[in-house]
Structure 1
Amino acid sequence: MTAPDDTPFDPKAHPHGHTHQHGGPVAPVSAHLRRVIAAVLIPFAAVMVAGLVLLWPGGAPEQHEHTGVGFDQQHERARVTEVTEVRCEDVGVQVQQGVEGPCEQATVEVTSGPHAGRTFTEMVPPDATQRYSEGQTVIVAYAPDAPQELQYSVTDVDRKVPMLLLATVFALAVVAVGRLRGLLALVGLTVSFAVLTLFILPAILHGSNPLVVAVIGGSVIMLVTLYLVHGVNARTSVAVLGTLISLVLIGVMGSLFIGWAHLTGNTDDQTGLVHSLYPNIEIRGLLLAGILIGSLGVLDDVTVTQTSAVWELKQAEPGASWPKLYRAGMRIGRDHIASVVNTLVLAYAGAALPLLLLFTIAQSSVGTVAFSELVAEEIVRTLIGSVGLVASVPVTTLLAALVVSADRHPVPVAAATSRHRRRRKR
């Protein structure tokens, strides 16, 4: 039994009618509202693409010839052929006081490059964190200006096989559970990695403003990945708008509090090294850019989830008003806030765990440690990202409730199905 075309759909009169909405041709929003959303997002996307073209770096800049940090050294593959224990005193290795045990002498054979087959020895003190075993593949650096016996040295182990295997397991798991949506998510991940390595990092090294580069690159990543994975529709557009508003809030708060707290961003060896190699890079902007990029991935998750929740609530109760949808969506969002904020804090704490251990054993007071620049930078990073995440829930929920309720005269399911069939016959 179907209702006439001019009869509004009544879920009470058709208690099973909701089952047809999940795959039917019902438009969730009016054509006028879709044009309004497009009028906002299309110019924004055009500006981001224009910025991408204007700031495109064309590759990473050439490295300085006198860096002195080994980045310009040639690297080859090698294999450990023998490991023997020796007395540290016999081979002239200085051991820290309180450290006991023999040293290890690893014989390494170069397996690639012009000197394949050459062997050299690598001394491993007893307090070394990296140990070698016979048959292990390692990475060695070649210094042509050094004496022949010192030209090669082990810099790292070869971990290509376990890393590629882990990546394969991850990809298979995503596709097995997510199917086509999971495959599209992997494509979006590839796009994100490409934008990061081909645009964001080289553009910053070329001297472009890190904040501008992060905004443009992050926006391109967001637009491509969200629309690719979730489709070009009003639901995805609402998630994009919610993410943009939250990113603006993070950027404004980041600029305010980083300046107010006098944070320089130059608090670790890596940042100091980058600044010494490329003095034109604005380190404080680099800190803010890192906050934006780090928050973007979690923001996408929050905004897409909240938008989908409101859409599903509307499908379950087509007659619900936007205030009712907003209140119901916020009940879901409050649980999301609690879990996401905890996730973000733990993620930053896990990344800074060695730093936290150092300050745990320090003799300074808790206040002195917390307000030092090294720790304050991580606190500001965490709190600004968390504020943006918290704000994204009500903002996105409100936008979704307004958009999904924008149709004053919703199309009945039966009428929409009938019109869809007539179009197909034509």
Structure 2
Amino acid sequence: MRTQSAKRDTILIAFFIILSVVLWNIPTPFDDRIDENATQSKGRILSVDNSQLQHHSLVTVGVQVLDVEILEGKHKGETFTVSNQLMGRLDIDKAFTAGDTALLVMTHKPDGSIDSVVPQDHYRIGLEVTLLCLFALLLLLFGGRTGAKALLSFIFTGLVLWKIFVPSLLLGIAPIWLALAVVAILTGTIIFLVAGLTRMGTVAFLGAMLGVTSSCILAVWATSAFKLHGAVMPFAETLLYAGYAHLNITEIYVAAIFVAASGAVMDLAMDVAASLQEVVDTHPEISRKEALLSGLRVGRAVVGTMTTTLLLAYSGGYVTLLMAFMAQGIPVINIFNMIYVAAEVVKTLIGSFGLVLVAPFTACIGSVLFTQKQKSAQPQKQLSTVLHQS
């Protein structure tokens, strides 16, 4: 039995490895919009001329004149003098100093020579890859085989979001139904990769999807009741003005609410399912009602911390918003009535609703499936005992 389970597990892992490789190599419908005459390269800032900059309190405007050296590719070693325009916006401006590394975007002439060089931003790719590798190594060292499966699900999730979810949203596919389908795929992948094709995985998956569906329904209602719209999301207006005015950004906002909460929901569903299975395996004679009560007690304990975790995770994203309003002496009732704050409140509360509901959902499903196994096995055990005595 264990050999068959390990075989199914290996087949599942191989399937998602192949699927991840396929997704990595499949182009998105928007790849052809990338300028083929532009290439990227790591570069070093050799010197900086700040004589044309003007400083106004916290704001700096003007032009930096930079001498840069290309560090990669066939133009490695070549140097150029380029300009870096500062617009007086701290959120998008980047100021360089001598010795910095930058991501250089180069356009080419028909003969292959460089036409222009633009320092896009500080070079962060190397550090990002290093952190990713350290994370993967730590996960493998600590988790072993389970850690490897978790890493595979992490990579697969990122590929699905980038290669399927985001392009499909841009193509105008119904955001809510699309998000539900993507969450179902990712939930199944993550849970069954970690738990295997087992009853525990089935219980966790069904409980998580019921929680996500509840969050979706509540998000649709709350968005209408609170008079919210998708323009509260960062870069939503930029997207509309960039030629995507046909997109329903309010539905995208609804989808974002339960997609963001789905990770915590499946985590809680797995906690309850694993704990409940342990209880049933330890006490095979447990009744369905007792199993349900045990699952609910586990759910209560976990929900108590998970909802606070969700609050901290969301509030960290808009703490500067609250600081700005408080610094201006705006009353609390005014603050929480503003659309930006109300949108974050809805995110937090709807996600918390999903967490609270997923525990009893998972406990109910687990109490049925786990005890069903024990009940079906009980007559066989009794029959074998009678035959042995005779």
Out of 265, 269, 276, the residue aligned to residue 303 of structure 1 is: 269
Q: Deviations over 1:366-394 (max 9, x none)?
A: 11111111111111011001100111011
> Counterpart of 1:410?
377
Q: Please give the secondary structure, in 2, of the residue aligned with 1:60.
A: coil
User: Does the 8 Å CA contact 2:272/2:295 hold for their aligned counterparts?
Assistant: yes
| Superposition RMSD in Å | 3.6
> Counterpart of 1:95?
55
Rg larger in structure: 1
Out of 377, 384, 390, the residue aligned to residue 343 of structure 2 is: 377
> Counterpart of 2:208?
243
Which moved further from structure 2: 319-328 or 385-394?
A: 319-328
- TM-score, structure 2 normalization: 0.79
User: Does the 8 Å CA contact 2:82/2:117 hold for their aligned counterparts?
Assistant: no
Q: Deviations over 1:156-200 (max 9, x none)?
A: 111122211111111111111111111111111121112111111
Larger strand percent: 2
Q: Please give the secondary structure, in 2, of the residue aligned with 1:152.
A: strand
Q: Deviations over 1:120-148 (max 9, x none)?
A: 25569899785544443201345789xxx
Cα distance in structure 1, aligned partners of 2:319 and 2:181: 31
> Counterpart of 2:28?
59
From the superposition, tell whether residues 172 and 405 of structure 1 become closer, same or farther in structure 2 (CA, over 3 Å).
same
Larger helix percent: 2
User: Does the 8 Å CA contact 1:106/1:124 hold for their aligned counterparts?
Assistant: no
Give, as a single letter, the amino acid of the residue that structure 2 aligns with 1:140. Answer: L
Larger RCO, structures 1/2 (Cα 8 Å, 6+ apart)? 1
The yes-or-no answer on 1:187 pairing with 2:152 is yes
Cα distance in structure 2, aligned partners of 1:300 and 1:78: 43
Q: Deviations over 1:401-422 (max 9, x none)?
A: 122122435349989999xxxx
Give, as a single letter, the amino acid of the residue that structure 2 aligns with 1:408. Answer: K
Q: Deviations over 1:1-58 (max 9, x none)?
A: xxxxxxxxxxxxxxxxxxxxxx989x9xxxxxxxxxxxxxxxxxxxxxxxxxxxxx97
The yes-or-no answer on 1:221 pairing with 2:186 is yes
The yes-or-no answer on 1:330 pairing with 2:296 is yes
> Counterpart of 2:20?
none
| Matching of residues 11-410 of structure 1 within 5 Å | 59-61=28-30, 75-83=40-48, 91-97=51-57, 106-111=66-71, 117-122=78-83, 130=94, 132-142=96-106, 151-277=116-242, 278-406=244-372, 407-410=374-377
From the superposition, tell whether residues 110 and 24 of structure 1 become closer, same or farther in structure 2 (CA, over 3 Å).
closer
Query: CA offset at residue 97 of structure 1?
Result: 3.8
Give, as a single letter, the amino acid of the residue that structure 1 aligns with 2:81. Answer: F
Give, as a single letter, the amino acid of the residue that structure 2 aligns with 1:80. Answer: I
Cα distance in structure 2, aligned partners of 1:164 and 1:114: 23
Query: CA offset at residue 232 of structure 1?
Result: 0.6
Give, as a single letter, the amino acid of the residue that structure 2 aligns with 1:107. Answer: D
Which moved further from structure 2: 201-210 or 122-131?
A: 122-131
Cα distance in structure 1, aligned partners of 2:383 and 2:313: 47
From the superposition, tell whether residues 321 and 119 of structure 1 become closer, same or farther in structure 2 (CA, over 3 Å).
same
Give, as a single letter, the amino acid of the residue that structure 1 aligns with 2:69. Answer: E
Give, as a single letter, the amino acid of the residue that structure 2 aligns with 1:139. Answer: L
User: Does the 8 Å CA contact 1:61/1:206 hold for their aligned counterparts?
Assistant: no
From the superposition, tell whether residues 164 and 337 of structure 1 become closer, same or farther in structure 2 (CA, over 3 Å).
same
Q: Identify unmatched segments of 5+ residues in structure 1.
A: 1-22, 28-56, 419-426
> Counterpart of 1:42?
none
Cα distance in structure 2, aligned partners of 1:156 and 1:389: 39
From the superposition, tell whether residues 341 and 140 of structure 1 become closer, same or farther in structure 2 (CA, over 3 Å).
same
- Number of residue equivalences: 352
Cα distance in structure 2, aligned partners of 1:314 and 1:177: 27
User: Does the 8 Å CA contact 2:65/2:81 hold for their aligned counterparts?
Assistant: no
Q: Please give the secondary structure, in 2, of the residue aligned with 1:405.
A: helix
Q: Please give the secondary structure, in 2, of the residue aligned with 1:410.
A: helix
Query: CA offset at residue 307 of structure 1?
Result: 0.6
Query: CA offset at residue 73 of structure 1?
Result: 6.5
